[in-house]
Amino acid sequence: MKLVIAFAVTTLLAVAGQQSAPTIVAWDALLTQPAAWYGTPEAARIADNLRLYQRATGGWPKNVAMTAALTPADRARLIAEKRGTDSTIDNGATTTEIQTLARVFAATNLAPDRDAVLAGLDYLLRAQYPNGGWPQYFPLRDDYSRHITFNDDAIARVLTMLREVADGRPPFGFVDADRRARIRNATDRGLAIILDTQIKVNGVLTVWCAQHDATTLAPALARTYELPSFSGSESVKIVRYLMSLPDPSPRVVASVDAAVLWLRAHALTGIRVERRPDPATPRGYDLVVVDDPAAPPLWARFYDLQTGRPIFVGRDGVKRDKLSDIEYERRTGYSYLGAYAATLLDREYPAWQRSRSR
């Protein structure tokens, strides 16, 4: 699950001679600020923080409030942690920092921000497997994070950004031609691994698992409740990435069409998830699946590889048929059902088809 971290951005704007009130910006909105904001002292302060959090690998750790003000002790600790091995592409880590620093550099032209961006891009190049996939962490760990990681849209996010770099799109116009060439090669290999990992059943293309074995490319186990399966969530982001490609090859078109067909066939109708108040529970509510013939379609996060039916798995790793059958902590602390593919099927895919027929 993504960690959304809020922070206060205080800018000294004179309005009738008075200081403006602080503007609250969420971490996941950091990349959507007006271009002028990236040239402000507040953006420079945050950029300085990001450079301190950057590991010697060139990457960043995840789920850290990097926008908070740092004390001298914090800064000393971060310098001491530079050799940490927790650099990752999970939960938007590394891509968010690279994109933010690139925007700040575009606004200020300060070399430390440029250098941090280039080090981050080099990290992503080193972390990529020869077959084109990326692990969740690099340096590699001896656990499931070594798998090719589509989970939480990690690889799709990396590839989307790297294509912008390879094309020299703003704010990445400063990246040198040699790096852009290597990054373009990385995106080509990234596309190849997406196509190579699409699951086939009796020779028919379907969708993807949230993670695939880095050697065999087979659907792979991650955490105990993330079994090898068809993904009704991560597959959507992969399809969106494929549809973003200019002049898609016949193989890309076939991949998209097959995944969309599978997602349509596996929509769950006649039910909805209700957040029901329950003061007796730790979170004060429960999630309950109820019948509702008028409800819009939902998709399961996981579908069984043998039966194609939705599965719900708690921390014990046991497949179950209903959300109500898994423990409360997972039932309310993880996304098992959602309208994951609704916008893709209703609007994005039809628009993509129309654009290709012109």
What's the confidence (pLDDT) of residue 179? 98
SS (H, E, C) 265-328: HCCECCEEEEEEECCCCCCCEEEEEEECCCCCCEEECEECCCCCCECEECCCCCEECCHHHCCH
Residue 6 has pLDDT above 60, yes or no: no
What's the confidence (pLDDT) of residue 11? 39
The average pLDDT across 320-338 equals: 98
The closest of 199, 196, 192, 180 to 245, measured between CA atoms, is 192
Share of the chain above pLDDT 90, in %: 90
**Candidates 51, 184, 223, 251; catalytic one:** 223
The average pLDDT across 224-250 equals: 98
Q: Which residue has the higher pLDDT, 178 or 28?
A: 178
- Secondary structure class of 195 (helix, strand, coil): helix
Q: Of 24-28, 84-88, 222-226, give the lowest mean pLDDT range.
A: 24-28
What's the confidence (pLDDT) of residue 29? 78
249 in Cβ contact with 333 (< 8 Å): no
Residue 17 has pLDDT above 70, yes or no: no
pLDDT band for 212, please (50, 70, 90 cuts).
very high
Residue 3 has pLDDT above 60, yes or no: no
Residue 14 has pLDDT above 50, yes or no: no
Q: Which residue has the higher pLDDT, 17 or 244?
A: 244
CA dihedral (118, 122, 123, 125) positive or negative = positive
Q: What is d(CA 9, CA 11) in angstroms, rounded to the nearest whole number?
A: 6
What's the confidence (pLDDT) of residue 48? 96
**Candidates 49, 55, 91, 331; catalytic one:** 91
User: Residue 276, class by beta-carbon neighbours within 10 Å (0-12 exposed, 13-18 middle, 19+ buried)?
Assistant: exposed
pLDDT band for 252, please (50, 70, 90 cuts).
very high
The average pLDDT across 118-138 equals: 98
Helices (H) and strands (E) in the chain, counts: 11, 16
pLDDT band for 23, please (50, 70, 90 cuts).
low
Q: Of 13-27, 181-195, 260-274, give the lowest mean pLDDT range.
A: 13-27
Residues 6+ apart with CB under 8 A from 343: none
149 in Cβ contact with 214 (< 8 Å): no
Residue 174 has pLDDT above 80, yes or no: yes
Q: Is 49 a catalytic residue?
A: no
Q: Is 151 a catalytic residue?
A: no
What's the confidence (pLDDT) of residue 265? 98
The average pLDDT across 242-253 equals: 97
Residue 285 has pLDDT above 60, yes or no: yes
What's the confidence (pLDDT) of residue 314? 98
The average pLDDT across 293-301 equals: 98
User: For the chain, what is the mean pLDDT?
Assistant: 93
pLDDT band for 357, please (50, 70, 90 cuts).
confident
